[in-house]
Amino acid sequence: MSKLSVALGIDIGGTNTVFGFVDKEGKCVAESSIPTNASESAERLFERLFPKVDAVYQSISKNYYLVGIGIGAPNANYYTGMVEVPPNLNWQIVNVLEIVKKYYDIPTAITNDANAAALGEMKFGAAKGMKDFIVITLGTGLGSGIVANGDLIYGHDGFAGEIGHIIVVDGGRNCGCGRKGCLETYASATGLRRTVFELLCNSNDPSKLRNITFEEMTSKMIYEAAVDGDKIALSAFTFTGEILGKALANAVAVTSPGAIILFGGLASAGDILFSPTQKAMEDNMLNIFKNKVKLLPSALHNGNTAVLGAAALIWNELEKGKTQSSEFAPVENWDVM
């Protein structure tokens, strides 16, 4: 019986590292995870990870054949294979592709998690069939992946596409990057919480959010309060959407995407976030782009979205013959007997 090709997608997070085996159609046939243990070295993470990967792979190897590995990680450089001083990980500068090669000498590629999300949407999600689009990941921070003419934009050094670090308020909120007023300090789960607390300080409106500490508050709590008609929560989402929409209008003027896709936990707020974002985007759009750019939710709902994105990275590389390993056949020929 012929085996089917699968790619291994690995998403390295500050808390957990999740992996899965994903086929060419985006079906995750097996997945698992381990704690990242952020204080440990990268070498130690992979020492713990690959025995677990091996065990899961053995459970499916009768029917599937592994053809490549895609990795999504914070501050990952597509060109060099390095992860450079990632937030929430005690890694400094590490060549991840060299470490992985000790365990699996097969085509491997790495990029940051937002770029992986963009490739996931292009191969398996809302951007299927598109050649020009932007994915915005709305989580603890704001990440972005920009695709133009069918290719992800990496820039000359591998770090292009940092829309989250466009300054939207001069002298604004302190950002983890060391600057002030970056978009992600306003349009992210953390930014939403900061907005709520500013509104609470400057308003006497009653709110169920008043007795919740900053550490305890989550974007889900704010969303649930907004659904219940809480004025503070609704105002926070409106303010967030207005800043995000204006920034997206500026981004449109650079690459002229056909769509912008919102991905991540905060995007699940639906119309409460999408409506003010869409309005602000159109209100601030250059005339030649008005009413041409779709604002869409992510369509990566099946399985672990981060794993799908990482797997899409290596599938994309294999199909274009662009991996850093030269010893592989075209992907069509990798189904084996």
CA distance 312 to 125: 10
Radius of gyration of the chain (CA): 21
Q: How far is CA 302 from the centre of its chain?
A: 15
Distance CA 236, CA 218 (A): 13
**Could you tell me the CA-to-CA distances from 247 to 41, 124, 126 in Å, in that order?**
37, 26, 21
Q: Are 153 and 147 in contact (CB under 8 A)?
A: yes
| Amino acid 302: pLDDT | 61
**Domain ranges (residues) in the chain:** 4-118+301-334, 129-297
Q: Do residues 36 and 14 make contact, with C-beta atoms less than 8 angstroms apart? A: yes
Tokens 């381990």, residue located: 34
Kindly list the averaged pLDDT for each block of 10 residues, start to end, along the chain of length 337: 92 92 94 94 96 97 96 94 88 95 95 94 95 95 95 93 96 94 96 97 94 94 97 98 98 98 93 98 98 95 82 93 45 35
Quote the pLDDT of residue 325: 42
Within 8 A by CB and 6+ apart from 305, the residues are 117, 120, 263, 298
In this structure, the chain runs to a length of: 337
129-297 matches 4-118+301-334 in CATH topology: yes
pLDDT in the model for residue 1? 62
As given in the structure block, the two tokens for residue 139 are 């989580």
Class of domain 129-297: alpha beta
Spatial strand order in the sheet of 294-297? 151-152, 142-148, 133-138, 259-263, 294-297
Q: 4-118+301-334: which CATH topology?
A: Nucleotidyltransferase; domain 5 (3.30.420)
| pTM of the shown model | 0.88
Residue pair 219/189 in contact by the 8 Å Cβ criterion? yes
β-sheet bridge partners, residue 260: 134, 295
Which pairing describes strands 294-297 and 259-263: parallel, antiparallel, or unpaired? parallel
